[in-house]
Amino acid sequence: MKPGKVYLKIFLSFLAVLIVTEVLIFGLFLIYAGRPAKEWAERLNAAKVVLVKDTIEEIIREKIQAEPEAPISRNESLNRFIHRFGDLFDAKVWLSSPGGEVLAQSFDGAVPEQIIEKFTQGRPIGLGGVRFYPHKSHRLSGLYAALPVQVNPAESGQLHILFEKQWPTSSHDKSFVWGLVLIGLVIAILVMPVSRLITKPLKELRRSAIRIAEGDLSHRAPIRSNDEIGELGRAFNSMADRLEGMIRGGKALTANVSHQLRSPLARIRVAGELLQEKFMRGDSRSTENHLKDIHEDVEEMDRMIGQLLTLSKLDIHEAALKPEILDPAAMVQDLMDRFKPMMEQKSIRTETAIDFNGPFCADREAMATVLNNLFENGCKYTPEKGTVAVRLGFEKTSLRFALTNSTTRTLSREQLERIFDPFYRIEGTAPKGTGLGLAIAKKVIEKQGGTINASQSPEGICVSFVLPSMQAPAA
């Protein structure tokens, strides 16, 4: 299976971080571990050289005191000590006379003159009063020291000590580097399933998006974690829920609109046919009534289309809110005056309780739409000689409004919840409206951050909303 781009990005990112980490580890090791080890080795070698020098001089003095005429080359104690020291510390040790003749040595063969020449070409370092010549190359590394030794009371010879392979050679460095490379490979292999673990839910999310795009609106992405990818999946599912609701709502809206428009269109068609028949017979009586019916049906269709446009704008958040300081009490009183003829015609009694001490800031047009729809709905569905009770109050920074219309009907919880759905009408109620007024009111209130609900009370059906005050526009 071909790895995805995100998988490769995650894998390569892990690999890059790993390489940088190993380089830093190697550098820190050389700085903080290699340097102290080197200094410790140099001090140890300086101590060895000083110890050998002092011991050899002591052995020579004892031999001179015991046998003044005996040559140094036949000093068994001296030769034994030099051999033991060379074997113990893996060093080449030899003692030369003032003329350069080798008096004693810890190894077989000639003195390594070429090696000494390479060492002495470098810059010497002083440790413990001893001058050392360090050398490090691809094939050779070590430490060389030459210091004077009293071979007899009148002459000084030279003590030569060559420590070979005292510091890590390039092969050791390579071993350490290859060890880091091996660790990196193991971690890189372990990163592969981790990368798949991260990319697997992303692939599932992609497959879910494709299924929804192909029309499977009920499909949801599986969520198996609580991390950021899980939150992304939940956000995706939430978006899918809203999308499904909008699409299904759009289909239902189209069906409802078709159904609602069919009735006035049918009445217009019938009225038109009747008018045509009358004109063909030359009968002009009662044409005014038919024209009036057509006009009323056209007005009803125009009102319904206007409400549909308002509802659609609220759904797509097209209309921007324009907050301003307003007086809700005055708006309520104005609406009560406007609907007074309708209420008097049905002998509806009104009860008002207004306790408002603003200021209050909201969109005036949106506020007027909500109040108008609630008043129209309340007056329309209140029976004759019924009661409409209006309460308006202000608590902290929120406006509280409630309109209760008396009715003998008792609505179920489902009916109260669906009362704000577009085109929903309670069966058996008369007169019939478009079923959009409360849906528009709910959209407007929620758009401004408020809440609206319907409840059953002993007095009737109560529709109430709580609307927080918006921030006043800058002067």
Output the CA–CA distances (angstroms, integers) from residue 1 to 4, 13, 14, 29, in the order listed.
9, 21, 21, 41
Contact in structure between 225 and 201 (CB atoms under 8 Å): yes
Per-residue pLDDT tens digits for 391-444: 999 888 889 999 998 877 778 888 888 888 777 766 655 555 566 778 888 888
Amino acid at 356: F
- Provide the pLDDT for residue 220: 85
Q: Tokens 């070590």 identify what position?
A: 142
Q: How far apart are CA 133 and CA 128, in angstroms?
A: 14
Rounded Cα distance, 21 and 147, in Å: 45
pLDDT of residue 313: 63
Instruction: Tell me which residue of 455, 448, 424 sits closest to 438, measured CA to CA.
Output: 424
**Residue 391 confidence (pLDDT):** 93
User: Using an 8 Å Cβ cutoff, are 410 and 456 in contact?
Assistant: yes
Q: What are the pLDDT digits (tens) for 167-176?
A: 444 455 567 6
> Phi, psi at residue 440, to the nearest 5°?
-65, -40
3-class secondary structure, 384:
coil
Residue 169 is predicted with a pLDDT of 46
State the CATH class of domain 5-173: alpha beta
Superfamily in which the 323-468 domain is placed by CATH: Histidine kinase-like ATPase, C-terminal domain (3.30.565.10)
- For residue 406 the two structure tokens come to 């008396």
What is the CB neighbour count within 10 angstroms for residue 280?
Answer: 8
**Helix 170-213 and helix 228-281, axial crossing angle in degrees, nearest 10:** 20
List CB contacts of 312: < 8 A, sequence separation 6 or more.
318
| pLDDT tens across the length of the chain (475 residues) | 455 566 666 767 777 777 777 777 777 666 665 566 667 766 777 777 778 778 887 877 777 777 767 777 777 888 888 888 888 888 888 888 888 888 888 888 888 888 888 777 777 777 656 677 776 665 666 778 888 888 777 778 888 888 876 444 445 556 767 777 777 777 777 777 777 777 777 788 888 888 888 888 888 888 887 877 788 888 888 888 878 877 776 676 676 667 667 767 777 787 787 777 777 776 666 677 777 777 777 877 777 777 666 666 666 555 567 888 888 889 999 988 988 888 888 898 989 898 877 678 888 888 888 898 888 888 888 888 899 999 999 888 889 999 998 877 778 888 888 888 777 766 655 555 566 778 888 888 888 889 999 998 888 889 999 999 887 766 5
Give the domain ranges of the chain. 5-173, 217-319, 323-468
For tokens 């050392």, name the residue. Answer: 132
**Of the candidates 152, 181, 126, the residue with the CA atom closest to the CA atom of residue 62:** 152
Please give the biggest Cα pair distance in the chain.
169
| Orientation angle between helical segments 287-315 and 437-447, nearest 10 degrees | 30
Task: Examine domains 5-173 and 217-319 and report if their fold is the same.
Answer: no
Query: What pLDDT digit, counting tens, does each position of 341-369 carry?
Result: 888 888 989 898 988 776 788 888 888 88
∠ CA 292-298-302, nearest 5°, is: 145
How many angstroms separate the CA atoms of 455 and 437, rounded?
17
Q: Angle 8-10-11 (CA atoms, 0-180°, nearest 5)?
A: 60
Compute how many other C-beta atoms are within 10 angstroms of the C-beta atom of residue 163. 24
Residue 450 Cα distances to 142, 159, 239, 282, 419, angstroms: 85, 99, 22, 60, 17
Nearest to 321 by CA among 361, 368, 370, 366: 366
* Residue carrying structure tokens 């070409």: 121
The CATH architecture of the domain made up of 217-319 is Orthogonal Bundle (1.10)
The reported pLDDT for the residue numbered 465 is 93
